[in-house]
A = this chain, B = another copy of it.
Amino acid sequence: MAKKSKATIADVARLAGVSTATAGRVLGRYGYTREETREQVLHAARKLGYRTNALARGLITGKTRTIGVVAGDIQNPFYASILRGISDVVESRDFGLLIVNSDENLDKEIRAVNLLMEKQVDGLIVSPCDTRNSRHLRDLQAAGLPLVLLDRSVAGLEVDRVAIDNIAASERAVSALISAGHRRIGLVGEMMEYQEGGLDAFLQRGLAGEVLSTDTLYPSWQRLLGYLRAHRQAGLEIDASLVRRVGAYSAGAAQAVARELLDRSDRPSAVFATDGTMSEGVMGAISAADLSVPREVSLVCFDDLEWMSFLSPGISTMAQPRLSMGETAATMLLERIEGRQEPARAVMMRADFIQRGSIARIS
């Protein structure tokens, strides 16, 4: 069997005594062939250890059966789970999966998209790191390449996307704290994306109910909006000094910021962390400060990470359906690849609040 140096369709055809067209038909499973010739070809192919060259096929058909994903960081559990979801549906359809990290950096994202286009992927899933700067994504559209946006959206780009309703999810999470009696709730958020006038101006506008175009906001900014909304619903004022922007997807940076919050003499009675990485940082700060949850601080996180259920008491958190988000994105993309024509859809998935023991009742 399995010979050295690759056998081509021509080799197989020669050995089987048929034309390359015929050999191609049986090996590529297209067109009709007599059962008998089919077997001759298959036999020859096996003897030569023939293996399809997907490059040649792709060049001809214009389809590679490979999709590309650009994620922020495959090491981050958020993306790791999403990628697993994508991978599951993609593998079940015999597609390949080309993955590249953007590190939430626009230049890297652009290079990633270029690389993937050169490799002729049939479609792309991207978690765009910039909601405004999107020439590279528009180019994809122009080139007719299917694209699904994950987690974030891009201003004025009408393509399929999957995400959760961040504002509502966050409002729900913060409300859990408020209804337990908390009045001073710290927020530690990544909020990397630039906002006109920075955090202060944003808060201003948010409190005045002015913030428009909320759905092209970055998730963490949206979650801040949810925080504001929960307070407004409850008729509570906000202490702007409790809202802290980390400005980076880094647990270390989040820990430093959280530490400041916890070291204050007028420490908040609870902290809300707006994503998994922030949650790690906040938890690290709480541990380092040797504070007891929920006796000394209450905590609500975002994204359900393994450790949140180990700790006792467990950590209450807003769980995004990461696996299904990935599966859904991949399914939508494959439908487009198969030619489905219909207006762009925005699938908003449901996030569930998992109530564990990290919220103290305050009277």
Contacts and interface: CB of A to CB of B under 8 A. Distances in A.
Interface string A285-328: 00100100000000000000111011110100000000000000
A118 B66 CA distance: 12
Max chain B C-beta neighbours (<10 A), residue from A49, A120, A284 = A120
B100 A99 contact: no
A251 B75 contact: no
Give the size range of A's interface with the partner: 35 or more
Contacts of A94: 115
A98 interface: yes
A251 B306 contact: yes
Given A4-B142, A307-B306, A311-B287, A66 B120 contact: no
Nearest to A82: B75
Contacts of A190: none
Contact of A311 (B56, B59, B280, B311): B311
A52 interface: yes
21 contacts: A5-B143, A53-B120, A54-B118, A55-B55, A74-B74, A74-B80, A74-B87, A75-B77, A75-B80, A75-B81, A75-B83, A83-B99, A87-B99, A88-B101, A96-B116, A97-B99, A97-B100, A99-B99, A280-B306, A284-B309, A310-B311
